[in-house]
Structure 1
Amino acid sequence: MDKLTSAQVLESGLDDWRLLAQALHARFRTKDFASGLRFVNAVGEAAEAANHHPDLTLTYPLVDVKLSSHDAGGITQRDVDLARTVSGIAREQGVAAEPRVVAEIELALDTADLAAIGPFWAALLTGDAGAIDGDDLADPNGRVPLLWFQHTDAHEAPRQRFHLDVWVPHDVAEERIAAAVAAGGTVVDAGQAPSFTVLADAEGNRACVCTCLER
């Protein structure tokens, strides 16, 4: 299936879901662990029937669901269809969705020489120096956040090389930025908003609040 654009995903009416960096995310609050397990089992049966399988995380009293089509490199119609099915199961079982609380962290590292440093970080984080795909270092076993390498010019003057990309729902970004500013931060660059906004703490350490909009 063809990969959908961010706009197409947002127009799909998936009220229980939010598109973050690489996938559709949903959080469902169950009444207890047994209810969560019952919900996961029902989702698993639906996934088998659709021959399309989400990532499921069961904790007490939450179930997190993540959907993407790896063969297409993003979100496709089958993800949208399965998301609707999962939401239907949640309604039938009386499980409430909490879409505004989902979030995702990615690490970004400036480098002028990916070939020189990439294998080191891949080996350190995953144990496999070859675990690099383009500009991304992704752990296939899902143990660590995605690290991506941001190409930059060579430089000798000290400056921040690492920063966090904090992916939040598009309808949460403004309040998250406001909360960070109220807590002592500053907006460094909003020129690419709402795609991403660069913030800094009181000592100048930077991070980006990212959304799926205008991507």
Structure 2
Amino acid sequence: MTGITVQDVADAGLEDWRLLASGLHARFRTADMTVGAALLAGVVAAAEELDHHPDVTLRRREVDVALVSHDVGRVTSRDLRLARRVSDLAAEHGATAQPHLLAEVEVALDTADLAAQGPVWAALLTGDAHAVDGDDVADPRHRVPLLWFQGTDAHATPRQRFHLDVWVPHDVADERIAAAVAAGARVVDDGPAPSFTVLADPEGNRVCVCTALGR
């Protein structure tokens, strides 16, 4: 199985779903928590049948579903199959997809010494100094955002070291960037768009608005 792209999701007719940093995501608005719980039960049953298990969050009037094939570390055709089943279940329960509300935040830290920095932040964020996978510190229990390390040359403080990566659906990015600019941000670099666009706040702190398109 190969990695799934934005075009693959569109070709599969999965209008409810969007690719973000950590996988394939959907959010469904329900009439109330009882309906959400019934939808959740249906998702669990479908996951057991397909032997492919998503991450699901139930709120008072929302159900969030995240899909990724953990054994290969990317979205695959298995996720597309389960996504289709989940969307069918949502429709049966009168739940409405809200892809425009999806977002995900990662934290990036510039460092010239990953070997020294990685264990410190892994211990702080997860309690395990060895929880560094490549350039990432990822909490398997999803209690904290993923932290990834961006290689850089050695430099003195106060040059910015941290920045946020704000992942949004590819069809929301332009609107989100425009809203930030209207609020006082400025575009620093849009050359890599739509993969990511670098913005700065009024004091110069930078943030990347990221999408899965073009990756």
TM-score by length of 1: 0.97
Cα offset for 1:158? Answer: 2.6
* Match of residue 92 from structure 1: 92
- d(CA) in 1 for partners of 2:132, 2:44: 31
| Partner residue, 1:185 | 185
**Whole-Å Cα distance in 1 between the matches of residues 149 and 159 of structure 2?**
16
Q: How big is the alpha-carbon RMSD for the aligned residues of Structure 1 and Structure 2?
A: 1.0
Q: Secondary structure at the match of 2:37?
A: helix
Following superposition of structure 1 onto structure 2, how do residues 126-145 of structure 1 map, counting pairs within 5 Å? Answer: 126-145=126-145
In the TM superposition, 1:3-82 aligns within 5 A as 3-82=3-82
Amino acid at match of 1:208: C
Letter of the 2:88 partner, please give it.
G
Q: Percent identity?
A: 67
What's the offset of the Cα at 1:125? Answer: 0.9
- Please tell me whether the aligned partners of residues 2 and 72 of structure 1 are also in contact (alpha carbons under 8 angstroms): no
Structure 2 contact 5–213 (Cα < 8 Å) conserved: no
Match of residue 203 from structure 1: 203
- Partners in 2 of 1:20 and 1:70 — Cα distance? 15
Q: Secondary structure in 2 aligned to 1:63?
A: strand
Matches within 5 A, 1:168-183: 168-183=168-183
Question: 2:27, 2:62 within 8 Å by CA — same for their partners in 1?
Answer: yes
Larger mean CA deviation between 155-164 and 121-130 belongs to: 155-164
Q: Distance in 1 between matches of 2:3 and 2:204?
A: 38
Q: Which runs of 5+ in 1 are unaligned?
A: none
Q: Which secondary structure does the structure 2 equivalent of 1:90 belong to? A: helix
CA distance in structure 2 between the partners assigned to 1:16 and 1:6 by the alignment:
13
Task: State whether residues 100 and 169 of structure 1, in contact with CA within 8 Å, keep that contact through their aligned partners in structure 2.
Answer: yes
Provide, for residues 18-76 of structure 1, a one-character-per-residue CA deviation record: whole Å limited to 9, x for no partner: 10012001000111111100000011101100000100000101100000001121110
Question: In 2, Cα distance between the equivalents of 1:94 and 1:166?
Answer: 30
**CA shift digits 1:163-198 (9 cap, x unpaired):** 000000000000000000000010000010010000
State how far apart, in whole Å, the 2-side matches of 1:150 and 1:7 are. Answer: 28
Q: Which runs of 5+ in 2 are unaligned?
A: none
Amino acid at match of 1:141: R
Distance change (3 Å), C-alpha of 1:157 and 1:41: closer
Contact 1:102-1:168 at 8 Å conserved across structures: yes
Q: Is the 8 A contact 2:105 2:167 kept in 1?
A: yes
- Supply the AA of the counterpart residue of 2:173: A
Q: Distance in 1 between matches of 2:22 and 2:6?
A: 11
TM-score, normalization by structure 2: 0.97
TM-aligned CA deviation for residue 157 of structure 1: 5.5
C-alpha separation in 2, matches of 1:34 and 1:106 = 32
Q: Which residue of 2 aligns with 1:114?
A: 114
CA contact (8 A) 2:184 2:202 kept: yes
2:102 aligned partner: 102
CA distance in 2, matches of 1:148, 1:11: 31
Matched residue type, 1:212: A
